[in-house]
């Protein structure tokens, strides 16, 4: 099941990274066009470089296997440009609102754990640069504005963290349910195919023999029917109508001889 989850997660993040790369290209070109009119040549240079860089990275997202490294190569330069723009006095103060995008992008492309680490680092750096900039412009700094910026940033980070963590748990649960028989709790055919594929790949890689044993359990249909009836009735009637060994699902299906069978 880990292989299924990995393939699903890779496809999901690969699509996100492709969108991120093209968004970085078009966004960099658009922002550079605006800043050319404002004659902010340093920012224009960085934005055009990042636009070209994003277009190149868009090709690697389709074939790369280590998508975490690709995501870091995309988001780290983006966050660095945001921090650099915040530190420049010539940019508008509203540039600081880009800090709110840091946790969203981090969790979206890096997952809950790495996204949390990157968010804490860059959000902290962004808030530091923001307050350092306000020291040079005290006329626009008020307690209300500062508090709104801090609270909104923390709220976005918290929401992004809980959303991504919940999404990962829900995805893992759905994949586990897809590979499990709901009645017996045993692995189904899809799980067998995935596990066999993984073991066959491991056997070829490490040059180790691989054996497959198939066991045919007689009267399995009767056992399944008996278990379904036992699960449906109440515990009090169960003890009267059936013996505990025959109808208790935990004893019937969790013995070592049956636990690892695929139906």
Residue with the bigger pLDDT between 223 and 215: it is 215
CA-nearest of 124, 44, 41 to 79 is: 124
| pLDDT tens string 22-76 | 999 999 999 999 889 888 889 899 999 999 999 999 888 888 878 888 899 999 9
- For the ranges 55-59, 92-96, 100-104, the lowest mean pLDDT is seen at 92-96
pLDDT for 139 equals: 58
* 233 DSSP assignment: S
Checking if the pLDDT of 216 tops 80, the result is no
- For the ranges 62-76, 118-132, 219-233, the lowest mean pLDDT is seen at 219-233
pLDDT above 70: percentage of residues in the chain: 75
* Cα dihedral: 213, 256, 189, 185 (round 10): 170
| pLDDT tens string 147-173 | 888 888 889 989 998 998 898 888 888
Residues with Cβ within 8 Å of 135's Cβ and at least 6 positions away in sequence, in order, are 141
Tokens in use for 130?
A: 């923001």
- For the ranges 23-32, 131-140, 173-182, 240-249, the lowest mean pLDDT is seen at 240-249
Checking if the pLDDT of 130 tops 80, the result is yes
Residue with the bigger pLDDT between 186 and 226: it is 186
Please report which confidence band the pLDDT of residue 103 belongs to, taking 50, 70 and 90 as the band edges: very high
pLDDT for 217 equals: 62
Question: Which DSSP helix (H) or strand (E) runs through 193?
Answer: helix 189-206
pLDDT for 150 equals: 85
Residues with Cβ within 8 Å of 42's Cβ and at least 6 positions away in sequence, in order, are 88
- Measured from the Cβ of residue 74, the count of other Cβ atoms closer than 10 Å reads 24
pLDDT for 222 equals: 58
Checking if the pLDDT of 90 tops 90, the result is no
Checking if the pLDDT of 188 tops 50, the result is yes
Please report which confidence band the pLDDT of residue 219 belongs to, taking 50, 70 and 90 as the band edges: low
pLDDT for 238 equals: 44
Every domain of the chain and the residues it spans: 2-178, 189-259
pLDDT for 246 equals: 44
List phi, psi (to 5°) of 207: 55, 50
Classify the C-alpha dihedral 61-65-70-72 as positive or negative: positive
Give me the count of residues in the chain. 263
Residue with the bigger pLDDT between 37 and 184: it is 37
């Amino acid at each position: 099941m880990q292989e299924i989850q990995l393939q699903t997660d890779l496809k999901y993040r690969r699509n996100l990274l492709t969108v991120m790369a093209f968004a970085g290209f078009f966004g960099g070109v658009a922002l550079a066009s605006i800043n050319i009119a404002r004659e902010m040549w340093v920012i224009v240079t960085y934005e055009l470089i990042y636009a070209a860089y994003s277009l190149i990275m868009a090709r690697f997202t389709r074939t790369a296997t280590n998508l975490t490294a690709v995501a870091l190569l995309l988001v780290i330069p983006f966050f660095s440009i945001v921090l650099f723009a915040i530190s420049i006095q010539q940019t508008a103060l509203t540039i600081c609102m880009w800090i709110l995008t840091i946790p969203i992008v981090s969790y979206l492309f890096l997952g809950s754990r790495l996204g949390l680490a990157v968010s804490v680092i860059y959000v902290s750096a962004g808030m530091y640069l923001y307050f350092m900039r306000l020291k040079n412009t005290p006329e626009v700094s008020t307690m209300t504005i500062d508090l709104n910026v801090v609270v909104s940033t923390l709220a976005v980070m918290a929401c992004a963290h809980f959303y991504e963590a919940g999404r990962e748990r829900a995805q893992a649960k759905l994949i586990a349910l897809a590979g499990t028989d709901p009645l017996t709790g045993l692995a189904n055919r899809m799980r067998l195919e995935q596990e066999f594929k993984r073991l066959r790949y491991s056997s070829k890689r490490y040059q180790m023999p691989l054996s497959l044993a198939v066991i045919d359990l007689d009267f399995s249909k009767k056992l399944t029917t008996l278990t379904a009836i036992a699960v449906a009735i109440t515990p009090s009637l169960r003890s009267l109508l059936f013996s505990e060994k025959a109808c208790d699902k935990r004893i019937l299906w969790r013995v070592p001889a049956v636990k690892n069978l695929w139906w």
